[in-house]
Amino acid sequence: MIDVQDLVVSYGTATALEHVTLTVAEGEMVALLGPNGAGKSTLAGALAGLLEPASGTVRVRGRLALIPEGRQLFPDLSVADNLALGGWRSGRRDPALVYDLLPRLAELAGRKAGVLSGGEQQMVAFGRAMMSEPDALVVDELSLGLAPNVTADLAAHLAELNRSRGLTVLLIEQNARLAFDLCDRAYVLESGRLVTEGPCAELAGDPRVASAYLGGAIS
């Protein structure tokens, strides 16, 4: 579904991603872990077609939607308008489908997106991505700045969509615990290079991963 081969992305003379190879099969939920500045959001941008690779290939079968880091809503527009614009690619204008999925959004429909709480904004970003009726979803930092119960709620929705509709998910996270709970496999990206990959159960037992991302303890 998502197939990245030998990808290099540069900003001017600085290389953000160096020869990254990563695949996500149809219906799979895969995590991408890494510290700040590792190049995670660059990879997200390349997958969404927002950045041109310097070399290598990015192949996506079907439609891919991105929930970008920091939500990136249209603050001056209403929630309903934010959602409607999410359907730019699919041609879907009516957010009813998203309201079924996330009923809270129906209550917020008339509010301006810029005045909502972080959790509500993330929910709008989630709904907006779903409006494009994606086959694959890239979620860049789902949990960043959110209360644990809000994150858990959104994660549950994500897992449900993966189960019921076979939505392919690439979860880009710093919160390894959340990523390991949700996903079967994970990649670890550091300074633009993939340093390790494997099933989450194995990675959680890797002392290097445990010390860097799980605070040294494996729960």
Residue 9 as a binder of other proteins (CB under 8 A): the answer is: no
Residue 99 as a binder of other proteins (CB under 8 A): the answer is: no
In angstroms, the CA 204 to CA 140 distance is: 21
- Interface residues for other proteins in 113-142 (CB under 8 A)? 128, 132
Among 9, 73, 154, 189, binds other proteins (CB under 8 A): 73
Q: Please, where are the H alpha helices in 30-175?
A: 40-47, 79-86, 96-101, 103-108, 118-130, 148-165
- Least distance from other proteins to the Cβ atom of residue 74, Å: 4
Among 88, 115, 145, 160, binds other proteins (CB under 8 A): 88
Residue 75 as a binder of other proteins (CB under 8 A): the answer is: yes
In angstroms, the CA 7 to CA 19 distance is: 5
191 by Cβ neighbours in 10 Å (0-12 / 13-18 / 19+) ranks as middle
In angstroms, the CA 142 to CA 122 distance is: 8
- Least distance from other proteins to the Cβ atom of residue 45, Å: 9
- Least distance from other proteins to the Cβ atom of residue 198, Å: 30
In angstroms, the CA 75 to CA 88 distance is: 17
Q: Among residues 34 and 86, whose Cβ is nearest to other proteins?
A: 86
- Tokens 């999410």 belong to which residue? 86
- Least distance from other proteins to the Cβ atom of residue 51, Å: 10
How much is the CA Rg of the chain, to the nearest whole Å? 17
- Least distance from other proteins to the Cβ atom of residue 109, Å: 14
Question: Which residues are near other proteins by CB under 8 A?
Answer: 48, 50, 66, 68, 72-77, 81, 84-86, 88-89, 93, 128, 132
